Structure 1
Amino acid sequence: MPKDINSQRKNFKIYQNKPLAIDKHMKTEPDEGSKINISGTQNQKSKLTTAKYEIEGVAGKGTFGVVYFGVNRANGEKIAIKK
């Protein structure tokens, strides 16, 4: 994970510690055939990766899951993934 998680969070809108709508130009539906398996603990030093995405950190946690933020490796687009 990056040393300064808060510098990565500036790309996400946070209201009362809850992530809100992401950039209106960002895709909200996964690409056909995309499959993400996020594993590991929050204390791991290395970045979590998938074939298509690089997960950089935790954007937020809630009753229904965890939201991670990362980057689409193909085009550099910032993404959020809920597990």
Structure 2
Amino acid sequence: MKPSESTLLVVAYNREKVRHEELDTIEDIEIAKKQSYDEVIEARHKGWWESIEQLNVDEVSTFEAWLETFVFNMQNQLNQLEIGASSSDLGFNV
């Protein structure tokens, strides 16, 4: 027995609703990243060579979060490059 058209529409609607919620979550994450980045840039403008002792706790935390994100992204990029390099070797080993 085939599902009815209304059942298919409900399933499609629910699927799109979940996808929309996922996109909202991604958007919220990206907004938070941008705010964090903007705060780091603002702190950076205070003085590039300003010692860490002169930063307040929030500025240090923001900078630390930015650095952790940067390291994570670089490691992820490196992993992707390594995966791409190793998968391109497949089939060429004679």
TM-score by length of 2: 0.21
Larger radius of gyration: 2
Greater fraction helix: 2
